Amino acid sequence: MNDPVVRTLAAIALLAVPALAAGLILGPAWGWAVLSLALAAALLSHAHHLRLLARWAAGLAADVPEGRGMWQDVLTLLYRRERAELRRRRTLARLLARSRRAGRALPYGMAILDAEHRILWCNDSSERQLGIDVRSDVGQPIVNLVRQPEFVRYVAARDFSAPLALKTSRDDGLILSVQLVPYVESQWLLLSRDVTQATRLETMRRDFVANVSHELRTPLTVLIGFLETVRELKLDPGRSRDYLNLMAEQGRRMQRIIDDLLTLSTLESAPAPEHDERVDTALLLARVLGDAQALSGGRHRIRLDAEEGFDLLGAESELASAFGNLASNAIRYTPAGGEVRLVWRASREGAIFAVEDTGIGIEREHIPRLTERFYRVDRGRSRESGGTGLGLAIVKHALARHQAALQIESEPGRGSRFAARFPARRVVAAPARRKSEALG
Residue 23: C-alpha distances to residues 10, 14, 15, 43, 185 (Å): 20, 15, 13, 22, 72
| CB 398 within 8 Å of CB 318 | yes
Which residues have a Cβ under 8 Å from the Cβ of 42 and sit 6 or more positions away?
A: 11, 15
Q: How far is the CB of 383 from ligand ADP (least distance, A)?
A: 8
Nearer to ligand ADP, 342 or 427 (CB): 342
Task: Please report, as ranges, the residues that interact with ligand ADP according to CB under 6 A.
Answer: 325, 329-330, 333, 357, 359-362, 370, 375-378, 382, 387-393, 416
Look up residue 398 and give its amino acid: A
Q: How far is the CB of 321 from ligand ADP (least distance, A)?
A: 12
3-class state of residue 397 by DSSP: helix
Would you report the helix, strand and coil content of the chain in percent, each value rounded to 5?
55, 20, 25
Nearer to ligand ADP, 31 or 359 (CB): 359
Residue 69: C-alpha distances to residues 37, 255, 365 (Å): 18, 103, 95
Q: How far is the CB of 190 from ligand ADP (least distance, A)?
A: 44
Nearer to ligand ADP, 193 or 256 (CB): 256
Q: How far is the CB of 271 from ligand ADP (least distance, A)?
A: 24
Q: How far apart are CA 250 and CA 16, in angstroms?
A: 125
Q: How far is the CB of 341 from ligand ADP (least distance, A)?
A: 12
Look up residue 319 and give its amino acid: L
Q: How far apart are CA 385 and CA 256, in angstroms?
A: 12
Nearer to ligand ADP, 332 or 426 (CB): 332
Q: How far apart are CA 141 and CA 114, in angstroms?
A: 9
Nearer to ligand ADP, 282 or 304 (CB): 304
Nearer to ligand ADP, 56 or 375 (CB): 375
Q: How far is the CB of 328 from ligand ADP (least distance, A)?
A: 8
Helix or strand holding residue 282 (H, E)? helix 281-296
Q: How far apart are CA 377 and CA 370, in angstroms?
A: 8
Q: How far is the CB of 332 from ligand ADP (least distance, A)?
A: 6
Q: How far is the CB of 213 from ligand ADP (least distance, A)?
A: 18
Residue of 137, 370, 143 lying closest to 122 (CA atoms): 137
DSSP single-letter state for residue 141: B
Nearer to ligand ADP, 105 or 262 (CB): 262
Nearer to ligand ADP, 212 or 428 (CB): 212
Residue of 172, 144, 429, 184 lying closest to 308 (CA atoms): 429
